[in-house]
Amino acid sequence: MEEIIRIKMTLLSDTIFGNGRSIPGQEDISVLRDLDGFPYYRGSTFKGIFREELKRSLIWDKISEKKADEKCTEMLGSEGSANQTGGNMVFSDIVLSDRVKHEVLKELHDDVTVIEAFTHIRVFTKINDEGTADSGSLRSARCVNKGLIFYGCIKCENGDRKLVERTLSLIKWIGTMRNRGFGHVRIEII
């Protein structure tokens, strides 16, 4: 029997939903957005973060690394597949609520304005050993604003629900440059 778990993800810091592209002269790291310009987090990317925490959780339970890998493959499919399916679980994209999108689209009429309503550009440099900016290291990234709330769904086997919920509680960081303080999140089951 399959079960749907609905999640709410609150951004506790600026977050980068990187799309792997840049806009020359404007952004070195761009944000993933839908056809209307709204930022979202790809379900397949979230699945990868979930896999990391699931394996860590299983190993904490004193399960061998081999058995943890087998359980991850059973639940999530083979590692590295870009597909959101595989295994017993399916991850939706994590998106803003339809109500928020509807209200914004009533007021704003182009995707440039939409993306600017939910994101901003952060500029940073690499600091060298002397404590000054390295030459040529200026970079810019489009960040999704802290405080925004996104929603998604995960389909799993009924018997895996507790493990899925525990794993979701372990996810604290998502997105690009999470090792630099971007992407701190709180995930709740709704």
Q: What is the pLDDT of residues 93-150, one digit of tens each?
A: 999 999 999 999 888 766 668 888 899 888 876 666 777 666 765 778 889 999 999 9
Q: Concatenate the DSSP letters of all residues of 161-186 into one string.
A: HHHHHHHHHH--B-SBTGGGT--BEE
pLDDT of residue 172: 96
Question: What integer pLDDT is reported at residue 139 of this predicted model?
Answer: 77
Q: Which residue has the higher pLDDT, 66 or 128?
A: 66
Q: Is the pLDDT of residue 58 over 80?
A: yes
Please give the pLDDT value at position 19: 66
Rounded mean pLDDT of the chain? 86
Measured between alpha carbons, how far is 172 from 176 in angstroms, rounded to an integer? 13
Q: How big is the CA angle at 58 (ends 57 and 59), to the nearest 5 degrees?
A: 95
Torsional sign, CA 118, 115, 46, 49: negative
pLDDT digits (tens, 9 = 90+) for 12-51: 999 999 766 655 556 677 889 998 889 999 999 999 999 9
Confidence at residue 129, expressed as pLDDT on a 0 to 100 scale: 74
Which of 52-56, 113-117, 172-176 shows the lowest mean pLDDT across its residues? 113-117
3-state helix, strand, coil in the chain (%, to 5): 35, 30, 35
